Amino acid sequence: MARPRIALIGAGQIGGTLAHLAAMKELGDVVLFDIAEGLPQGKALDIAESGPSEGFDAALKGTQDYADIAGADVCIVTAGVPRKPGMSRDDLLGVNLKVMKAVGEGIKEHAPGAFVICITNPLDAMVWALREFSGLPHEKVCGMAGVLDSARFRHFLSLEFNVSMKDVTAFVLGGHGDTMVPLTRYSTVAGIPLPDLVQMGWTTQDKLDAIVQRTRDGGAEIVGLLKSGSAYYAPATSAIEMAEAYLKDQKRLLPCAAWCDGEYGLDGLYVGVPTVIGAGGIERIVDIKLNKDEQKMFDNSVESVRGLVTACKGIDETLA
Ligand code: APR
């Protein structure tokens, strides 16, 4: 059987890391697309040359031609501009919206059967625009944010409790950014919810609140340290987890930016929610009942995503 085809639109920091991970995990053959001359070709060749030492079988190709993504099973989109220190994700809206138009049209023409994972920021608005421009079914287009946000939360919690990250689960909802909603009562260490761990004296409420805030600011913390560009190792690893769930029909329960139409009382909006990812794409949205405080935070997050979608419609009238 032919190997699956993975198209990476954007061959920058995240795109290159995605390609390396996809090849090392033998998820399929990789096509790197970028408008920058030579960049995708150079990265494809460099990664291919790591194959003999690492021992993977995967073909890698770099291209400036959308025709080369034909028949892709998965497209992961990182094309666009990343943040610089002092910028919010929302500052990227205008420039990255134009990029989503070009990418959406390229996918529509050459890879309409793909499962599409958007990473470009501001995530929740960009995944919406990409879906509109590509015209693909909503369940085949999603955004990577929740896996990364919960990975950051799990990492910080594992440090606080001095336990393995493997035994920490985390549950986050809402938009990617300052309005993200970490649900502490559904986040656990080996099944013990965080509020119980506070009661057990494993941590204090103040420390937990600080960890939640650090998670919300997780992207900005990296931007501040790197000074040029934003995070790429963890974002790429998170998107690969989603791509693998689709390609291997794993039915993984992963939080991601998914189209909610009815779920969570929404009438058509991309926002971060727990989903089941399998061969059908986003096969299910897990619609949990929120308490009053959580609902308030979620509503706040939804409002900010709606604001960005409205701003997109103002910039590009074909979206209105
Ligand atoms: N089509 C294809 N590629 C494009 C286009 C386009 N229209 N416009 C820009 N690019 C490419 C750039 O040439 C660059 O190689 O997108 C790549 C982006 O890579 P980086 O600048 O290294 O950014 P990266 O760190 O990978 O982040 C990409 O993901 O997390 C988000 O906020 C981040 O929006 C940013 C995106």
Regarding whether 98 and 242 lie in a shared domain, the answer is no
- How many residues in the chain? 320
Write out the residue range of the structural domain in which residue 56 sits: 5-144
> Where do runs of H (alpha helix) occur along the chain?
13-24, 39-48, 51-54, 93-110, 123-134, 146-161, 194-199, 205-216, 218-226, 233-247, 292-315
Q: Say whether both 116 and 199 belong to one domain.
A: no
CATH of the domain at 190: 3.90.110.10
Distance between CA 103 and CA 109 in Å, rounded?
10
Identify whether residues 127 and 166 lie together within a single domain: no
| CA-wise closest residue to 244 among 168, 173, 166, 144 | 144
Has residue 318 been placed in a domain?
Answer: no
The DSSP result for 172-199, as a single string, is: EES-SSTT-EE-GGG-EETTEEHHHHHH
For residue 219, say whether it is annotated as part of any ligand binding site.
no
134 and 162 together in one domain: no
The count of domains in the chain is 2
Query: Do 216 and 306 sit in the same domain of this protein?
Result: yes
14/110 same-domain check: yes
State the catalytic residues.
Answer: 176
Amino acid at 36: A
Ligand 1, atom 18, lies closest to the CA of: 12
- 16: which 2 tokens? 């290159």
Indicate whether 198 and 124 sit together in one domain: no
Per-residue model confidence as pLDDT tens for the chain (320 residues): 899 999 999 999 999 999 999 999 999 999 999 999 999 999 999 999 999 999 999 999 999 999 999 999 999 999 998 877 877 777 889 899 999 999 999 999 999 999 999 999 999 999 999 999 999 999 999 999 999 999 999 999 999 999 999 999 998 998 887 788 989 999 999 999 999 999 999 999 999 999 999 999 999 999 999 998 899 999 999 999 999 999 999 999 999 999 999 999 999 999 999 999 999 999 999 999 999 999 999 999 999 999 999 999 999 999 98
Could you tell me the end-to-end alpha-carbon distance of the chain, in angstroms, rounded to an integer?
A: 43
Residue with CA nearest ligand 1 atom 5: 79
Of 144, 160, 176, which residue is a domain's last?
144
Which residue, judged by its Cα, is nearest atom 8 of ligand 1? 80
Enter the DSSP assignment of 290.
P
Name the domain boundary from 107, 127, 144.
Answer: 144
Provide the CB-side half-sphere exposure for 61 (13 A, CA). 16
Q: Is residue 266 part of a domain?
A: yes
One domain, residues 139 and 216: no
Are residue 128 and residue 232 in the same domain, yes or no? no
Ligand 1 environment, Cβ below 6 A: 9-15, 34-36, 39, 78-80, 82-83, 92, 96, 99, 102-103, 119-121, 229-230, 232, 235
Please check whether residue 34 lies inside any domain of the structure: yes
Q: Say which DSSP state 2 is in.
A: P
* ipTM score assigned to the predicted complex: 0.98
Which of 125, 144, 163 is where one domain is finished?
Answer: 144
